[in-house]
Amino acid sequence: MHVFYLHGFASSAQSKKAAYFAGQLRPYGVSLRCPDFNEPDFASLTVTRMLDQLAQELSTLDRAPVVLIGSSLGAVVAIHSAARLPDRIDRLILLAPAVTFPGDADRVLGAERLRAWQAKGTIDVFHYAYGEHRALNYAFHEDALRYDAMAAEIGQPTIVFQGRRDQAVDYRAVERFAAARPNVVLTLVDDDHQLMASLSEIWTETARFLKLT
């Protein structure tokens, strides 16, 4: 199988979770593919660019089953990719999926900051992979409005892990997403958005889901 890790917003292909999954998969002879969505630059990031980047990489592979592990915004990309490529993507593993993005921008940024972003054309956000603030074009928000993960139709077997103490993603929205789809199994854990304290539990379920054990 081909297994992809899709990192979240202002993260990178070298994130701690990506390294963790790569290490867990290695003994089974499975290499983890981690597209870097910061390329060619963070400022021009859009969901459409992320989707196209993944689709392009998938087009270069053989027809073995594709598994997408998506974190936060990466999980949104996984959902929309599965909807767009139902015959290519076999199953999904979603970690703290930002299913209400970008409809919750007012709550996350505040209406005043959102208006300032639109007026200026860019906003400075802290990029965790670079350890500094980086500019992001308003086109990111405009493009994201084209996508609604809550309305996406996916039929692939899917497991979801969501923290009850997540301050970025409301676990109740994730519950609604899962409840509307019989192919989706949700596990709520006592953790925050990063889910670092739950990785062992997540891996146990992932290995079973991928039939590695």
**What would the pLDDT profile of 126-175 be if each residue is shown by its tens digit?**
999 999 999 999 999 999 999 999 999 999 999 999 999 999 999 999 99
The mean per-residue pLDDT over the stretch 3-26 comes to 96
The mean per-residue pLDDT over the stretch 175-189 comes to 98
Q: Which domains does the chain have, with CATH numbers?
A: 2-103+149-209 (3.40.50.1820)
The mean per-residue pLDDT over the stretch 13-41 comes to 96
Interatomic CA distance for residues 89 and 83, integer angstroms:
9
Decide if 94 contacts 79 (C-beta within 8 A).
yes
The pLDDT value given to residue 106: 82
Interatomic CA distance for residues 4 and 202, integer angstroms:
16
The mean per-residue pLDDT over the stretch 26-34 comes to 96
Query: Residue 42: how many CA atoms within 13 Å on its side-chain side?
Result: 19
The mean per-residue pLDDT over the stretch 79-108 comes to 94
Hey, is 66 helix, strand or coil? strand
pLDDT band, very low/low/confident/very high, at 178 (cuts 50, 70, 90): very high
pLDDT band, very low/low/confident/very high, at 104 (cuts 50, 70, 90): confident
The pLDDT value given to residue 28: 96
The pLDDT value given to residue 63: 93
159: phi then psi, degrees, rounded to nearest 5: -120, 145
pLDDT band, very low/low/confident/very high, at 213 (cuts 50, 70, 90): confident
- Report the predicted TM-score, pTM, of the whole model to 2 decimal places: 0.96
Interatomic CA distance for residues 131 and 127, integer angstroms:
6
| Helical H segments across the chain, by residue range | 16-25, 47-58, 73-84, 105-109, 111-120, 139-144, 171-179, 199-209
Decide if 43 contacts 122 (C-beta within 8 A).
yes
Tallying the residues shown for the chain, one arrives at 213
pLDDT band, very low/low/confident/very high, at 58 (cuts 50, 70, 90): very high
